[in-house]
Amino acid sequence: MIDFSLFEKKTNIIFNNKKLLEQAFIHRSYINENSGEQVSHNERLEFLGDAVLELIVTDYLYNKYPDRDEGDLTAYRSALVNAVIIGEVAQELGMNEYLLLSKGEAKDAGRARSYILANTYEAYVGAVYLDAGYNVAREFISRTLFGKIDTIVAKKLWRDAKSLIQEKAQEYLSVTPVYKVLHEAGPDHDKHFTIGVFFGDDRIAEGKGKSKQEAEQDAARVALEIKEWLD
């Protein structure tokens, strides 16, 4: 298995339970190819980490922006914890080097890998929370993620991407974006969706999320970047 000691030094978080740290990096596909190993994939940790992340980010934004209403704070939170931003943070941390994937998944890159990295970040947060507690998890998120919010607010990346791309597409191209499910995976309680946004027959971009709504927002956000319609 992979030696995680360098990652522990990089994050300055030394785990008491090394198996918990390892589990955070195990993708479901790895289990399918290595069924003989006594290891578990990271989806339960991801479930926990997602909730811990949302609470910590919500608390941070509530205190950082005392004059903003619930709607703005919700939009800021959604923009900060979306798969693209968290995937970038995970990449910056070098999490990609420690992923345990199937051979097929290991060959994939681009947005699919970014989505896996985002899930791994959440699983790692869950593992830190279990191993070291809330305060250590909060310090890690503060150090790695909070710095992104100033850019998000300054560039207005928190705006509803679906509404914005519909407005721009109708203004510039006289078309209405259409969203189509390209792929869905996972059990009913933990679905993962890949959705494409189309202008007519042309697929402009695709997005991923744990719900259709989240995946549509992700697809719209990517399409806005591709079209350079973020002002």
Give catalytic residues, as residue numbers: 50, 122
Q: Dihedral through CA 20, CA 21, CA 26, CA 31, nearest 10?
A: -40
Beta bridge partners of 37: none
Longest dimension (CA), the chain: 58
Strands 192-199 and 202-209, by their bridges, are: antiparallel
CA atoms within 13 A on the CB side of 173: 14
Q: Can you tell me which residue has the tokens 């869905």?
A: 184
11 touches 92 (CB < 8 A): no
